[in-house]
Amino acid sequence: MIEVENLTKRFGSTLAVDTVSFTVKPGEVVGFLGPNGAGKTTTMRIITGLIYPQSGTARVNGKDIWDEPVDVRKLLGYLPEATPLYDEMNVMDFLGFVATVRGIPPREIAARVERMIEVCSLQTMAFKDISELSRGFRQRVGLAQALIHDPPALVLDEPTSGLDPTQILEIRRLVRELGKEKAILFSTHILDEANKTCDRILIINNGRLVGEGSPHDLAAMASGETIYSLEFKGDTELLTEKLPDHFKVTHSRPGGEGYTGLELACSDPADHSEELFDLTVSVGGKLRQLSRKEATLEDVFLELTKGGEA
């Protein structure tokens, strides 16, 4: 898994990344959503060990970028914003070359290359020079090189940018498939794309994380609602019945040890935490967690939805 802790990176007077912390677990596709210049690429380049932060750190499967940068790189597959490909090589030769550089034993290389050609649907392009490939195929070669050493974590920087709609759907499908096992951080500046591809979304703006949640939560927050999440033990039906009208249950799931995790959207911006607490007590239940996420995302959402590439 990927852990990022209090990362801060300055370029001269530009604070590109400002005390950013988050984690990405195995089996999770986390969207890194923010307008251009928000700090997505910088964060990703730090995680992949290409640049160092002024403070904070990142770890992949417990290996720290400061202490074990070589191990971190082995555990990661990285698709940079502009894929560096060797134009004069054909696809097979290029993937074989990358496999060698990544330290895959020679007797396994042919099989790995075959597998990547299959996974990334590159069969028709295997013997074409990279310079001849369309943008969509180049991107798939980029993904193939990121995946060839079968890393447990993937960092994909705007992998669908510049692709046509069919190619976008294919890349998203592949990412979701890979995300069943791997920890994936997927950056995009398109809200709709993050919603469709990711299990969880982190919103970054001006170098700071300004929101986090499921696609559903974020949609509610963008519309000005506040989200309360709580873990409740007791008569959930009675609690739901007694909820005042400004609350709406948006999500309910088992929370373990007899608790139910509930997400409530509240149309009133005032803090209703006390009211919720009193209500859970009044129905004879127990509460072990209660948090409130404010709708502070309007500006960022405006930025993200005011056009640009689809």
Ligand X SMILES: Nc1ncnc2c1ncn2[C@@H]1O[C@H](COP(=O)(O)OP(=O)(O)O)[C@@H](O)[C@H]1O
Q: Among residues 121, 112, 184, 174, which one has the least CA distance to residue 148?
A: 112
- CB-CB neighbours of 260 under 10 Å: 17
- CB-CB neighbours of 72 under 10 Å: 23
Residue 37's binding partner, choosing from ligand X, Mg ion, none, with beta-carbon cut-off 5 to 8 A by kind? Answer: ligand X
Burial 264-280 (b: 16+ CB within 10 A, else e): bbbeeeeebeeebeebb
Q: Which stretch binds Mg ion (CB under 5 A): 40-48, 146-154, 170-178, 190-198?
A: 40-48
- DSSP letters of 50-111? SS--SEEEEEETTEETTT-HHHHHHHEEEE-SS----TTSBHHHHHHHHHHHTT--HHHHHH
- Residue 124 lies near ligand X (rule: CB under 6 A): no
Q: Which is nearer to Mg ion, 9 or 40 (CB)?
A: 40
Asked if residue 49 lies in contact with residue 65, where contact means CB atoms within 8 angstroms, the answer is yes
Q: Which is nearer to ligand X, 149 or 189 (CB)?
A: 189
Q: Which is nearer to ligand X, 44 or 221 (CB)?
A: 44
- Residue 272 lies near ligand X (rule: CB under 6 A): no
Chosen residue from 6, 11, 181, 296 binding ligand X by CB under 6 A: 11
Chosen residue from 26, 37, 152, 255 binding ligand X by CB under 6 A: 37
The CA R_g of the chain, rounded to the nearest whole Å, is: 22
Q: Which is nearer to Mg ion, 41 or 226 (CB)?
A: 41
Least Cβ distance, residue 25 to Mg ion (angstroms) = 23
- Residue 41 lies near Mg ion (rule: CB under 5 A): yes
- Residue 52 lies near ligand X (rule: CB under 6 A): no
Cα-flanking dihedrals φ and ψ of residue 46, to 5°?
A: -70, -45
- Site residue total, ligand X (CB under 6 A): 11
Largest CA distance in the chain: 72
- Residue 172 lies near ligand X (rule: CB under 6 A): no
- Residue 41 lies near ligand X (rule: CB under 6 A): yes
Residue 229's binding partner, choosing from ligand X, Mg ion, none, with beta-carbon cut-off 5 to 8 A by kind? Answer: none
What is the binding site for ligand X (CB under 6 A)? Answer: 11, 14, 16, 34, 36-42
What is the binding site for Mg ion (CB under 5 A)? Answer: 40-41
